[in-house]
């Protein structure tokens, strides 16, 4: 629990005064400073977000950037501990992290949230890219070393970024759509799709759904892209990720598909969340910073308890990589930890 001397200082995390110390062990961690920032988008509107500075940040130095795009889209990045897909882990490795509250996000009024209705991607994409340009102009970010990642709606925007710019060196797309037409029938939600695309009933007007599908523009893709999805995700079903993976393979774009056991929209078990986190950072390190070997299983195995190291399961099915859930030391390859989560 925190307080601030005055309401106008809420956006500056460094001005918060701690009242309760529920996790004293955090004091032993080197954390990047988190601040709320804003910038002007292409249409003149002010857009906000969270910047996590790298640990040991020195003003005047330029740092590699991770753009961590929240899902929803009616959600928001806020000042919180290690939000944005492990932002503090990236900060500890020397990255700056931008968590943009692009058009479609909540917390900025209803107009900001609904501005994307009828044209799902354009304004949000402009908001994200102008946020990146703002950090470059401020001398914080090296524009030649940038990666983007997201899950759900954040995966949708990652796929749109993939097909609309080559400014990023690496992308990680989590549970993102590629084709609004095919996803309409695959997903457990149709009303929201129709609302955001503009209200037209799919089966009477396919055109707006296709025009707003990243797949329509996939021939533009050039950025090495890692793909993550839960095998039986009901919300953004895994065939969307398979469509992306197949397209990139055929186009000769470096790609890997990680499909996790389960029936939920998010990765249900900690072991596989670890796989995603470790492999994703290795992907960014390799392509954004030119270090490391993309992803090696030993990087994950070394983080596990010794008794479990030799029980790690590696399945390869269309690039599928699976780690078992904790099960008393037994090895398993079927729906480990998938449950009904």
Catalytic residue among 156, 245, 265, 286: 265
Please check the confidence at residue 46 and state whether its pLDDT lies above 70: yes
Is 152 among the residues known to form the active site?
A: yes
> 46 versus 299: which is more confidently predicted?
46
- 80-90 tens-digit pLDDT: 877 778 999 99
What local confidence, expressed as pLDDT, does residue 316 receive?
31
Q: Are 295 and 287 in contact (CB under 8 A)?
A: no
The string of pLDDT tens digits covering residues 57-82 is: 999 999 999 999 999 998 888 888 77
For the chain, give the percent of residues with pLDDT over 70: 87
Q: Which residue has the higher pLDDT, 312 or 163?
A: 163
Region 312-317: mean pLDDT is: 35
Helix axis angle, 83-92 relative to 270-284, nearest 10°?
A: 50
Question: Which one is catalytic: 41, 112, 134, 152?
Answer: 152
Q: What residues have CB less than 8 Å from 217, skipping those under 6 apart? A: 163, 164
265 is an active site residue: yes
Average pLDDT in the 248-268 region?
Answer: 96
Average pLDDT over residues 292-301: 74
Mean pLDDT of 143-168: 97
Q: Give the whole-angstrom CA distance, residue 30 versus residue 7.
A: 27
Instruction: Count Cβ neighbours within 10 Å for each residue of 315-336 and write b for 16 or more, e otherwise.
Output: eeeeebbbbbbeeeeeeeeebb
The mean pLDDT of the chain is 87
- pTM of structure: 0.84
Q: Which domains does the chain have, with CATH numbers?
A: 34-309 (3.40.50.1820)
């Amino acid at each position: 629990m925190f307080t601030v001397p005055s309401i106008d200082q809420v956006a500056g995390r460094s001005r918060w005064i701690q009242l309760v110390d529920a996790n004293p062990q955090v004091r032993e961690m080197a954390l990047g400073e988190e601040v709320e920032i804003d910038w002007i988008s292409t249409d003149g509107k002010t857009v906000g977000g969270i910047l996590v500075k790298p640990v040991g940040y020195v003003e005047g130095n330029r740092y590699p950037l991770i753009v961590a795009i929240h899902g929803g889209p009616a959600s928001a990045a806020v000042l919180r501990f290690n939000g944005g897909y492990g932002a503090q882990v990236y900060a500890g490795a020397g990255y700056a992290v931008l968590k943009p509250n692009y058009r479609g996000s909540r917390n900025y009024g209803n107009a900001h949230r609904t501005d994307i209705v009828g044209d799902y991607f354009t304004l949000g994409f402009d908001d994200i890219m102008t946020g990146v340009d703002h950090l470059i102009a401020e001398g914080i970010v090296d524009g030649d070393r940038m990666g983007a990642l997201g899950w759900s709606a954040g995966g949708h925007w990652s796929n749109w970024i993939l097909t609309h710019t080559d400014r990023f060196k690496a992308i990680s797309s989590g549970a993102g759509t590629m084709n609004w037409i095919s996803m309409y029938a695959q997903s457990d939600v149709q009303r929201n799709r129709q609302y955001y695309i503009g209200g037209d009933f799919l089966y009477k007007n396919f055109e707006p759904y296709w025009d707003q599908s990243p797949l329509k523009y996939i021939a533009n893709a050039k950025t090495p892209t890692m793909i993550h999805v839960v095998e039986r995700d009901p919300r953004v079903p895994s065939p969307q990720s398979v469509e992306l993976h197949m397209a990139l393979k055929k186009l000769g774009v470096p790609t890997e598909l990680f499909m996790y056991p389960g029936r939920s929209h998010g990765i249900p078990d900690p072991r596989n969340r670890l796989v995603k986190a470790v492999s994703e950072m290795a992907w960014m390190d390799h392509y954004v910073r030119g270090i490391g070997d993309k992803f090696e299983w030993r990087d994950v195995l070394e983080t596990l308890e010794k008794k479990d190291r030799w029980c790690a399961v590696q399945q390869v099915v269309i690039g599928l990589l699976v780690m078992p859930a904790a099960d008393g030391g037994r090895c398993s390859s079927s729906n480990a930890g998938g449950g009904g989560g």
